[in-house]
């Protein structure tokens, strides 16, 4: 349904999106995940025809976005970042206007507007002025706008940003339901969101696709070769780095800086080995008192952070936070 080939978008000399390629099949819900500034919104703006690509090709429903913008735009319902709306209009009036602009015929318009308002649960504010609505309601008005012409493709840029937890759950439920009969591409920098809604995840970082797959695939792939141990210790003994790096099977030690004497430490070890006892013995020998210890395999969040940090420092390992902070200090 959506096919992106070697897409590049440059602003001045800087490439916001650098040669990415992916494909999205019909009725897939795909999450576009990445840190802020990774190129998510830029990619979505090219897909919706708002910006032109500097290079590469985007086809939607078999049509080139750049060559046939009009017919491509008809297929897409787009919710831009920050949900721009006309604050002086009333909700029903706005959706009615947008439905007409998107070519919904006069006879079907009333039903289309009512349907979209019902789905997004904004019928209660139908006659309110948009500028006086809360952020959550405005977000849902934007979503209703994306839906109103019943397009086969929905492109949603950060659809749940600014919503309260209850509303977030509602919107996720709605997106899941919409995804049964449509193709949905949504962007987010929040992991649980993507994990909760999407059938597939594209991780983008620094303008490149850094990983892609089903959430469980990504987790399984990462979990096989790494174990994580979270510790809380009381300071007072030897340096934590020296103590734990000496343990056989531990590959990385991250120590969180804190004010009090209690430190949180995250150890990364090889997958498939239980090194908890060795860690305990090493701590005792080093004079560090363990307050808590937990072992787990990778969460999707770790995968995400891993992929992103690995991309940022391709050649050298990331410095432990303690050292980094010391270097930055004047």
Q: Kindly state whether residue 61 participates in binding other proteins, applying the rule CB under 8 A.
A: no
Rounded-to-integer distance, Cα 284 and Cα 243, Å: 10
Please identify, among the stretches 71-79, 133-141, 242-250, 255-263, the one whose residues bind other proteins according to the rule CB under 8 A: 71-79
Q: Rule CB under 8 A: which of 139-158 touch other proteins?
A: 145
Least CB distance to other proteins at residue 101 (A): 5
Q: Kindly state whether residue 138 participates in binding other proteins, applying the rule CB under 8 A.
A: no
Member of 3, 27, 63, 74 binding other proteins (CB under 8 A) = 74
Q: Rule CB under 8 A: which of 164-183 touch other proteins?
A: none
Q: Which is nearer to other proteins, 74 or 268 (CB)?
A: 74
Residue 43's contacts (CB-CB under 8 Å, 6 or more residues apart) are 4, 7, 9, 17, 20, 32, 204
Rounded-to-integer distance, Cα 64 and Cα 69, Å: 8
Q: Kindly state whether residue 293 participates in binding other proteins, applying the rule CB under 8 A.
A: no
Q: What is the DSSP string of 30-88?
A: EEEE--TTSSHHHHHHHHTTSS--SEEEEEETTEETTT-HHHHHHHEEEE-TT----TT
Q: Which is nearer to other proteins, 138 or 263 (CB)?
A: 138
DSSP-derived 3-state class of residue 264: strand
DSSP-derived 3-state class of residue 320: coil
Q: 192, 277 in Cβ contact below 8 A?
A: no
Rounded-to-integer distance, Cα 117 and Cα 278, Å: 59
Member of 19, 27, 28, 97 binding other proteins (CB under 8 A) = 97
Least CB distance to other proteins at residue 102 (A): 6
- The gap from C-alpha 131 to its chain's centroid, in whole angstroms, comes to 28
Q: 122, 170 in Cβ contact below 8 A?
A: no
Q: Kindly state whether residue 18 participates in binding other proteins, applying the rule CB under 8 A.
A: no
Q: Which is nearer to other proteins, 85 or 191 (CB)?
A: 85
Q: Which is nearer to other proteins, 78 or 304 (CB)?
A: 78
Residues lying near other proteins in the complex (CB under 8 A) are found at 10, 45, 48-54, 66, 69-71, 73-74, 76, 78, 80, 82, 84-89, 97-98, 100-103, 145
């Amino acid at each position: 349904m959506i096919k992106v080939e070697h897409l590049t978008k440059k602003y001045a000399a800087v490439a916001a999106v650098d040669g990415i390629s992916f494909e999205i099949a019909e009725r897939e819900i795909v999450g576009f995940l990445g840190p802020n500034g990774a190129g998510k919104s830029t990619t979505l703006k090219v897909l919706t025809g708002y910006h032109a690509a500097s290079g590469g090709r985007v086809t939607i429903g078999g049509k080139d976005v750049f060559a046939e913008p009009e017919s491509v735009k008809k297929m897409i319902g787009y919710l831009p970042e920050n949900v721009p709306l006309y604050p002086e209009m009333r909700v029903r009036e706005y959706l009615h206007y947008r439905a007409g602009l998107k070519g919904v015929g006069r006879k079907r318009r009333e039903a289309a507007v009512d349907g979209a308002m019902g789905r997004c649960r904004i019928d209660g504010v139908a006659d309110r002025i948009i500028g006086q609505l809360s952020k959550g309601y405005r977000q849902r008005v934007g979503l209703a706008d994306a839906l109103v012409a019943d397009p086969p493709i929905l492109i949603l840029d950060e659809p749940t940003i600014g919503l309260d937890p209850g509303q977030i759950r509602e919107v996720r439920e709605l997106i899941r339901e919409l995804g049964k009969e449509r193709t949905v591409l949504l962007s987010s920098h929040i992991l649980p969101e993507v994990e909760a809604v999407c059938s597939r995840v594209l991780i983008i970082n620094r303008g490149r696709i850094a990983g892609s797959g089903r959430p469980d695939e990504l987790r399984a792939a990462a979990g096989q070769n790494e174990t994580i141990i979270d510790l809380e210790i009381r300071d007072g003994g030897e340096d934590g780095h020296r103590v734990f790096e000496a343990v056989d099977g531990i590959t990385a030690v991250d120590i969180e800086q804190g004010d009090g004497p209690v430190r949180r430490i995250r150890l990364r070890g090889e997958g498939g080995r239980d090194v908890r006892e060795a860690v305990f013995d090493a701590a005792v020998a080093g004079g560090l008192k363990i307050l808590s210890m937990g072992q787990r395999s990778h969460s999707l969040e770790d995968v995400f952070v891993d992929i992103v940090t690995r991309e940022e420092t391709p050649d050298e390992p990331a410095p432990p936070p303690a050292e980094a902070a010391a270097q930055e200090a004047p």
